[in-house]
Structure 1
Amino acid sequence: MGDRPRRIAHLDMDAFYASVELLRYPELRGQPVVIGGGRNAVPETLPDGTRRFARLRDYVGRGVVTTSTYEARALGVFSAMGMMKAAQLAPDAFLLPTDFDAYRHYSRLFKDAVHTFTDRIEDRGIDEIYVDLTDLEGESRALGSRIKAAVRQATGLTCSIAIAPNKLLAKIGSELDKPDGLTILAMADLESRIWPLAAKKVNGIGPRASERLDSIGIYTVGDLAAADLGLLQEHFGRKYAAWLARIARGLDERVVVVSSEPKSMSRETTFERDMHVLKDRAVLTPALTALCERLAGDLARKGYSGRTVGVKIKFADFKVVTRDLSLPEALADAASIRRAAGACLKRVLLDRRIRLIGVRVSALERAIESKSLAVPTQGLLPFDC
């Protein structure tokens, strides 16, 4: 890359899941909409061709909000909030079910659009990427505008982009002018645009660290920059304190990782009510099988197989138990994953109601040819027949 100054972009799709749903249901634009309902939230098409949508006030269950439109966020409804609490805040908000197949489709579309500019892209999930623009010609704002236009043309959706000297500032910057934002940051902007922000806005400062910073009078990134290093070390230890001091000054040497191999893939589901191991076997067994099938589909789409299968059980008291099974050969098909998951379940004491189940395949490798692994069929499990 020579002596050119680094230009790193962070691209974040705006309210991604909700925005995909609004493409399908444009009559809900400008309305508070919450994504995360189950089958009961599927819109009903009326005889005159119009649609009747579920309202959040009618929701009953234990689910959580997957995402919400900006109008719903203005009412206090955010991702990961309990649906019943959200219903108290925004009872008239419209409720829609999740459709992860559609979200993955639009994720591929926007990433393909950015790939027309450069291959130096780090995939950070379904709705965000880092892009190294250092070697591209053109002024940053013009380049950012072109990328945004390409994403809009490919998907019909808006995104927010920040271009900065490093990943830290680009990540923070992409939130500054949402939605449909384009933010250009230089180190000279640190004092005016970054230091006034709450410290918790920095990726890597979680709720516990934020509470501890508050307790010692450090509320903003600027407060953090002015803090005594010894004070930070006293409360956070030498390593984390040194990191806090660096990020407060906008320093970040991390590179855009163009090719990264995933360590594992997983699927899980949270039930709307706690499931009894015996009485709800008719629900638990198909749910486990469906997770294995969806996980096998993920592996096939991305070209991986794995040598370790694991299960995760969260009980009604929120205790989490995991069990893994390492295998002599890598697998990727649903039937083999299902058999191995059953073998893991034999090692779990299923003595309480179940809130969540999950399945994971790890020790991944590139799949050359699918192989069927002869795992002995499991015996009768309490919720498996």
Structure 2
Amino acid sequence: MTAPRRLIAHLDMDAFYASVELLRYPELKGQPIVIGGSRRQAGGASSPSGEPVQHARLRDYAGRGVITTATYPARALGVHSGMGLMKAALLAPDAILLPMDFESYRHHSRLFKAVVAEIAPVVENRGIDEIYIDLTDVPGAQDAIDGDPLGGVRQLARRLKDAVSRATGLTCSIGVTPNKLLAKLCSDLDKPDGLTVLMADEIPSRIWPLPASRINGIGPKANERLAALGIHTIGELAATPLHTLLAEFGSQYGHWLHDAAHGCDDRPVVTWREPKSMSRETTFERNLHPREDRALLTPIFTRLCEQVAADLARKDYVGRTVGVKLKYDDFRTVTRSLTMPTPTREASVIRQWAGRCLKTVPLDQRLRLLGVKMEGLLKADAAQAEAQVDPTPELPLFEPAMGDNP
């Protein structure tokens, strides 16, 4: 019996954070909006229904925050996710700046994933705003593939889009193809509110003319190296001899580039993936000195440990290795980690061992960022024993008595 041909969808919510904010402030629809910065700096106060809200403008921002996302009118002005807010203010000074509201984003994320799973239960979670969906065994999918691929598959994809819209009030873009690599690429071809269906025989006409950088996995550095070889489009990459790619990029990445350009990808949709680590970090609005600003840093550090502990508890994990991350004012980054005798998810234990990690790094220079990570994760019911708390009394994190190299 011939195995059924795969039908994989990639669903990507359109400007997700910004779109959720527009549900709260529908009067801002069509305006350039940037999401990022702290609630205090971005003017995040809400008002009773019906009262006008005075929103902050990007030109008034002062700090080192970055854009998390932006509406499409804002993107048309040249701003994009990952760009510093101060730089963005030069390009779009009148854009509205809204703070992030992760509780609301997570709520809408759960809503859209739940309704998709009711139609197609084989779903791979790829983040708060995107998923892969295996449609192969959804009733009618094979008939759509074998009989009327453009009509039948589109009808199935529209069911998903309509369900997401009804559940959330938001739009999404979907790419439906034979594999994950092509689905990811196609979901971005017709944004926002897009629907792209592509079959294998359409790769030369629809995929090969696109820039090579459109393939997920070809970053800026790899794209520069391809350009140096005269390779600018996916079609040019597909036409490049394999031995040339192997010589330039090595065996593993060279083979991958060759396969990707030809639309080959046999990765399955994975419904569950064990996390390797959980972490929390924060970038300060101004550089903080470990001793001069210890009154500020100590509660921040403790809160990071508590947040990691809460993440572990929510997902029912314990961790064996605690790590810290520091970025100094000269952008140098240092990480340290220690493995505990028994795994834990207790905030006090994480805090204590993370503090011990800090004793191994210099704390005589101002900090831009501080982070805490737990690795060596185990499901709680698989842990052999509960971690034992060291009875040594806890000292404040940035205590001068710890010396110059705590």
- Structure 1 residues 45 and 357 mapped into 2: Cα distance closer, same or farther (>3 Å)? closer
1:357-376 paired onto structure 2 within 5 Å: 357-368=370-381, 371=386, 373-375=388-390, 376=392
Q: Which amino acid aligns with 1:169?
A: L
d(CA) in 2 for partners of 1:29 and 1:68? 12
Contact kept? 1:121, 1:132, Cα under 8 Å:
yes
Aligned to 2:309: 296
Aligned partner of 2:147 in structure 1 is none
- Alignment partner of 1:315 out of 290, 314, 328: 328
Letter in 2 for 1:40: Q
**Larger deviation: 90-99 or 104-113?**
104-113
Task: Say if 2:178 and 2:199, in contact at 8 Å, map to a contact too.
Answer: yes
Aligned to 2:144: none
For residues 1-385 of structure 1, the aligned pairs below 5 Å read 3-38=3-38, 39-44=40-45, 49-138=51-140, 139-368=152-381, 371=386, 373-375=388-390, 376-382=392-398
Distance, in Å, in 1 between the alignment partners of 2:162 and 2:237 is 37
* Structural RMSD (CA): 2.0
Distance 2:46 2:343 in 1: 46
Contact 2:298–2:396 (CA under 8 A) maintained in structure 1? no
Structure 1, 272-281 or 145-154: larger mean CA deviation: 272-281
Q: Distance in 1 between matches of 2:223 and 2:100?
A: 31
CA distance in 2, matches of 1:168, 1:106: 26
Q: Is the 8 A contact 1:55 1:91 kept in 2?
A: yes
Long gaps (5+) in structure 1: none
Q: Is contact 2:321-2:376 (8 Å) kept?
A: yes
Cα gap change, 1:373 to 1:58, in 2 (>3 Å): farther
Q: Is this contact kept in 1: 2:342–2:387, CA < 8 A? A: no
Tell me, in whole angstroms, the C-alpha distance in 2 between the residues paired with 1:287 and 1:91.
Answer: 31
Cα pair distance change 1:216/1:136, threshold 3 Å: same
Displacement, 1:336? 2.1
Distance in structure 2 (CA, Å) of the matches to 1:45 and 1:243: 49
8 Å CA contact retained: 1:304, 1:366: yes
Amino acid at match of 1:80: G
Quote the offset at 1:252 in angstroms. 0.6
In the aligned structure 2, how far is the partner of 1:377 from the partner of 1:225? 63
Larger radius of gyration: 2
Cα distance in 1 for residues equivalent to 2:129 and 2:180: 16
| Residue 146 of structure 2: aligned partner | none
SS at match of 1:357: strand
Q: CA deviation at 1:384?
A: 8.9
Q: Could you say if the C-alpha distance between residues 172 and 384 of structure 1 is closer, same or farther in structure 2, counting changes exceeding 3 Å?
A: farther
Structure 1 range deviating more: 291-300 or 181-190: 291-300
Q: Which letter does structure 2 place at the counterpart of 1:98? A: M
1:45 Cα deviation from its structure 2 partner? 5.5
Q: Tell me if the contact between 1:285 and 1:383 (Cα under 8 Å) persists in the aligned partners.
A: no
Q: Tell me the secondary structure at the aligned position of residue 119 of structure 1.
A: coil
List, as ranges, runs of 4+ consecutive aligned residues in structure 1 with deviation greater than 6 Å. none
2: distance between equivalents of 1:384 and 1:204? 46
Q: Distance in 1 between the 2:65 and 2:175 partners?
A: 33
User: Residues 162-216 of structure 1: CA distance to partner in whole angstroms, max 9, x if unpaired?
Assistant: 1100011001000001111111111122122211211111111111101111111
Percent identity, aligned pairs only, is 58
> One-letter code of the match for 1:182?
L
Judge conservation of contact 1:307–1:363 (CA < 8 Å) in 2. yes
Post-superposition offset of 1:295: 1.8
**Deviation, structure 1 residue 303:** 1.7
Using the TM superposition, name which of 78-87 and 275-284 deviates more: 275-284
Q: Which letter does structure 1 place at the counterpart of 2:291?
A: L
Give 1:44 shift.
4.5
SS of match in other structure, 2:238: helix
Q: Are 2:298 and 2:398, in contact at CA under 8 Å, matched by a contact in 1?
A: no
AA of the residue aligned to 2:389: A
- Separation in structure 2 between the aligned mates of residue 229 and residue 91 of structure 1, nearest angstrom: 48
- Deviation (angstroms), 1:118: 2.8
1:6 Cα shift?
0.3
CA distance in 1, matches of 2:300, 2:25: 29
Query: Partners of 1:17 and 1:53 in 2: how far apart?
Result: 16
After the TM superposition, which of the residue ranges 114-123 and 168-177 deviates more from structure 2? Answer: 114-123
| Bigger Cα displacement from structure 2, 281-290 vs 167-176 | 281-290
Q: Summarize the Cα distance change of 1:146–1:384 in structure 2 as closer, same or farther, 3 Å threshold.
A: farther
The answer for unaligned runs of 5 or more in structure 2 is: 141-151, 402-406
> Shift in Å at residue 378 of structure 1?
4.2
Structure 1 CA distance for aligned equivalents of residues 393 and 93 of structure 2: 48
Mark the CA change 1:222 to 1:272 in structure 2 (over 3 Å): closer, same or farther.
same
Q: Distance in 2 between matches of 1:83 and 1:128?
A: 25
Q: Which residue of 1 aligns with 2:143?
A: none
Contact 1:15 1:69 in 2 (8 A): yes
How much has 1:160 moved relative to structure 2? 0.9
